[in-house]
Chains A and B, each alone.
Chain A
Amino acid sequence: MTVGTTTAQLLLILGFPLAGSALSGLLGPRLGRRFVNYAGTVSILASFAVACLMLSSVVGAPHGHSSISVRLFQWLDLGSGNLSVGMDFTLDPLSALMVMVITGVGFLIHVYSVGYMEHDDGIARFFSYMNFFVFSMLLLVLAADLVILLIGWALVALSSYLLIGFWYERKSAVLAARKAFITQVIGDLAMIIAAFLIVLHIQTLSMPNIFARAGAFDSGGILVTGICALLAIGAFAKSAQFPLHTWLPDAMEGPTPVSALIHAATMVTAGVYLIARFHPLFDRAPVAQGMVACVGIGTALMAGVIALNQVDIKRVIAYSTMSQIGLMIYAVGIGAYAAGMFQLTTHAIFKALLFLAAGNVIHALHDEQDIRAMGGLAARMRTTHLAFLSGSLALAGIPFFSGWFSKENLLGFGTVAGPGAIPWLLYIVGVGINVLTGLYAFRLWAVVFHGEPQTARVYAAQEARRVMLVPVAILGVLALIVAWPLQFPIPSTLHVFSDFLGSVVPTSAREPGVGLAVVALLIGTVASLVGAGAARQIWLLRQPNAAELVPRFPKQLVVAAYNKFYWDEIYDAALVRPTKAIARTARRVIEPDIFDGWIGGVVDVMRGFSIDLRGLQTGLIRDYASLFAVAAVVFVVITAVVVTR
């Protein structure tokens, strides 16, 4: 790849969505819906086309030369040996993969939104925000300088705020958007501190430089552990991991395409990408890695349990996302970077699929989202049902669907790699999560699409229009086949994917031996099937009330899970209320009495002074003459005193 063509590719990849955003936003209201529809979707398609070109040139590059950095311009230069920041971008396998996922899945989602938002008047604003989001995300993954990455990071948070709160007349939407943004800001803060620490130690924020000089950090030392921990906190905020996870379910207030794009395929995966990208630092901080792995698995478990108890179709899928991302975080936490990225890729496809299919259902039932009001939709929405089934099979990790390949690959590493003295402890939990995933995925499928229709709306439901159906169908097919040519969970068999990424993100975890890998594969597969089978048994065949679980579980746990383990309430009491109380005090006490008092006091003094001064102007000649006389005397005395000194 020559630098010239890569610069052009880069500018096009970034420029198309940005242009689409500007055109939709500025000209959209005037030029109408059709223009906006085309502008919004074609821009992403064009970006995808250039991304394919980029991918082909990355794949075709000779070994060892698959990374190219492009600098658009120098931004800040503090001299040699000091910080220098440029508009740097990197085109390598990792960024190429992310760009393909973002623009590819993004394009399908944009096409879908043409249909989903057809009755919404804010369509121009919608596509403007969506394109801007894609642009920000691309900026983030293409960045080769931590500063640029942080800019993309913050812009993504902004775009998500705009999109979650798209229906801004709804108070709940606005609150959800605010919550998401505030949580993101906490992560931003952590990342900026990490950037400061990096600069303090090695005076550079350019990622190639950081990675080349990673040896300057003591392995396992406090500094690098702190930096990685802070970066991980940023990743957790973006990827909705515990304890910064509370914003994701609320974010379902946004339109379904937004949930598909942001909360399934792209934004929440930024955290995984970050850790994978910064692997040279993470490899030197095993404590931080362990923390990441534990948080990932823990979140995955918690989210799985909650998902099992939710009754809003989008919330179930949202918690499912949280859980799957948890698995990815776990993967990059144990050093299996390629495995995590593989799961990221397949997950992007089947999760977007699930969201869009759910969108079809919601649209067909005229904005009904409670699964207790659904049922029996399989006969009425055949294609959507099949696609949803495909996505659920992939999600649960049923053999030969894409999710099976990626999840078993990931778990395979867990048998030998992991934090602490017993590395496979977390693997056991991961197997349990497989069961859970099967359970909630098929619970959802069964309750929504099978059984008796629970409300009248179901009888009137019709299959979605073509523009909403075709993307879903495409994703449904991809959810089955996308992993076939890429990777097989047994080492030394098919490993196209990990080779592809290996030049940039070498896996630092130990690979399990062939025998162990086969055993793990079987265990994982059995677990998924058990979960799926149990779900089928409970909800398809026996069909109890959908909100009920198997009666064995204690009621407290069920209620707690339904209430998301009360984390929102805890945060509200511990953080939100005190802050609001402080703000209220400031508004009621500090500002009126202290500040306004001071300012008012000054004003009153000046006013009083002016009023007194005005008393001088009586208009009487004699008064003025008296003043002259007094002043003259004073001047004479002063002069006499001064002169005779």
Chain B
Amino acid sequence: MNAILVVAMALTAISSIGVVISREALYSALSLVVTLGMLAVVFLLLNAQFLFAVQIIIYAGAVMVLFVFIIALLNPEAEDRPVADWHMTIALGGVVVTTILVFVAARNGVTYSDRGFRGQLIGSANNPYHAFSFPVGPVNASGNVQTVAGQLFTTFLLPFEITSLLLLVAAIGAVYLTRRAAH
């Protein structure tokens, strides 16, 4: 399990770089599809089966197909060389810095107690991961889809309804925006 997870994570990282680096938009789109797929695998391995399905169907499926269609429609051969100016420096610097920071922060264990957050140094006597040492509990015992749906339609009903409204609005908006205006 861990090995699969590690491989999936590595592939995600590599293909995400591909998204940014590819010279042609179509290649970026295809890299993104791979990234999304690998992310779905990661979700699966993290016991988020419903999300795995949704990611494949909606994200890697519908959304990316839409992307590819538009790319093909608009300028399939367009080349776009990234400009090597100060933006790139910031970007790359940001990548490196943030990754290190996040890793260090996660590894050192930002713990949470009654008095708020506390940071701990590497190798301290306390277990830096004690926040995460619960056994996998009843959350996933009865099946992921059932659990998620239960939450979705009770506790999170309002956001659910609002997002459906959002979808409606987006659809109407897209239709409106792309109609040929009568001159």
Answer whether residue A74 sits at the interface, using C-beta atoms and an 8 A cutoff. no
CB pair B87–A644 under 8 Å, yes or no, is no
Contact of A629 among B90, B101, B110, B117 (CB under 8 A): B90
List of A residues within 8 angstroms of B135 by Cβ? none
CB pair B94–A644 under 8 Å, yes or no, is no
CB pair A644–B117 under 8 Å, yes or no, is yes
Known contacts: A626-B87, A629-B90. The answer to whether A643 contacts B105 by CB under 8 A is no
Interface residues of A in 224-266 (CB under 8 A from B): none
CB pair B98–A633 under 8 Å, yes or no, is yes
CB pair A644–B90 under 8 Å, yes or no, is no
CA distance A266 to B101 in the complex (A): 93
List of B residues within 8 angstroms of A630 by Cβ? 90, 94
CA distance A626 to B86 in the complex (A): 9
List of A residues within 8 angstroms of B117 by Cβ? 643-644
List of A residues within 8 angstroms of B165 by Cβ? none
CB pair A644–B97 under 8 Å, yes or no, is no
* Nearest residue, chain B, Cβ from A633: B94
Tell me the minimal C-beta distance from A446 to chain B in angstroms. 102
CB pair B101–A643 under 8 Å, yes or no, is no
CB pair A643–B116 under 8 Å, yes or no, is yes
* Nearest residue, chain A, Cβ from B97: A633
Answer whether residue B119 sits at the interface, using C-beta atoms and an 8 A cutoff. yes
CA distance A48 to B119 in the complex (A): 97
Answer whether residue A379 sits at the interface, using C-beta atoms and an 8 A cutoff. no
List of A residues within 8 angstroms of B81 by Cβ? none
Tell me the minimal C-beta distance from A644 to chain B in angstroms. 4
Interface residues of A in 602-640 (CB under 8 A from B): 622-623, 626, 629-630, 633, 636-637, 640
CA distance A644 to B110 in the complex (A): 8
Answer whether residue B130 sits at the interface, using C-beta atoms and an 8 A cutoff. no
* Nearest residue, chain B, Cβ from A640: B105
CB pair A622–B97 under 8 Å, yes or no, is no
* Nearest residue, chain A, Cβ from B116: A643
CA distance A90 to B101 in the complex (A): 91
CA distance A623 to B87 in the complex (A): 7
CB pair B90–A637 under 8 Å, yes or no, is no
Tell me the minimal C-beta distance from A469 to chain B in angstroms. 98
Q: How many positions in chain B have a CB within 8 Å of any CB in the partner chain?
A: 14
List of A residues within 8 angstroms of B94 by Cβ? 629-630, 633
Task: Report whether over half of chain B's contact residues are helix, strand or loop; otherwise say mixed.
Answer: helix
CA distance A633 to B94 in the complex (A): 8
Interface residues of B in 84-115 (CB under 8 A from A): 86-87, 90-91, 94, 97-98, 101, 105, 110
Interface residues of A in 115-152 (CB under 8 A from B): none
List of A residues within 8 angstroms of B118 by Cβ? 644
CA distance A633 to B96 in the complex (A): 12
Contact of B87 among A622, A636, A643 (CB under 8 A): A622
List of A residues within 8 angstroms of B86 by Cβ? 626
CA distance A640 to B119 in the complex (A): 9
CB pair A644–B101 under 8 Å, yes or no, is no
* Nearest residue, chain B, Cβ from A623: B87
CA distance A621 to B147 in the complex (A): 43
Tell me the minimal C-beta distance from A631 to chain B in angstroms. 11
CB pair B90–A626 under 8 Å, yes or no, is yes
* Nearest residue, chain A, Cβ from B85: A622
* Nearest residue, chain A, Cβ from B83: A622
CB pair A637–B101 under 8 Å, yes or no, is yes
CA distance A518 to B91 in the complex (A): 118
CA distance A636 to B110 in the complex (A): 14
Tell me the minimal C-beta distance from A42 to chain B in angstroms. 88
Interface residues of A in 176-233 (CB under 8 A from B): none
* Nearest residue, chain B, Cβ from A641: B119
Tell me the minimal C-beta distance from B90 to chain A in angstroms. 5
List of B residues within 8 angstroms of A629 by Cβ? 90-91, 94
Tell me the minimal C-beta distance from A636 to chain B in angstroms. 8
List of B residues within 8 angstroms of A623 by Cβ? 87
List of A residues within 8 angstroms of B119 by Cβ? 644
List of B residues within 8 angstroms of A633 by Cβ? 94, 97-98
CA distance A640 to B87 in the complex (A): 25
Tell me the minimal C-beta distance from A624 to chain B in angstroms. 11
List of A residues within 8 angstroms of B116 by Cβ? 643
CA distance A239 to B46 in the complex (A): 108
Give the 5 A-B residue pairs with the shortest CB-CB distance, closest first: A644-B119, A626-B90, A643-B117, A626-B87, A622-B87
Q: Other than the known A637-B101, A640-B101, what 4 A-B pairs have Cβ atoms closer than 8 Å?
A: A626-B86, A630-B94, A636-B101, A643-B116
Q: Which residues of B are interface residues toward A (Cβ below 8 A)?
A: 86-87, 90-91, 94, 97-98, 101, 105, 110, 116-119
Q: List 24 A-B contacts (CB under 8 A).
A: A622-B87, A623-B87, A626-B86, A626-B87, A626-B90, A626-B91, A629-B90, A629-B91, A629-B94, A630-B90, A630-B94, A633-B94, A633-B97, A633-B98, A636-B101, A637-B101, A640-B101, A640-B105, A643-B116, A643-B117, A644-B110, A644-B117, A644-B118, A644-B119
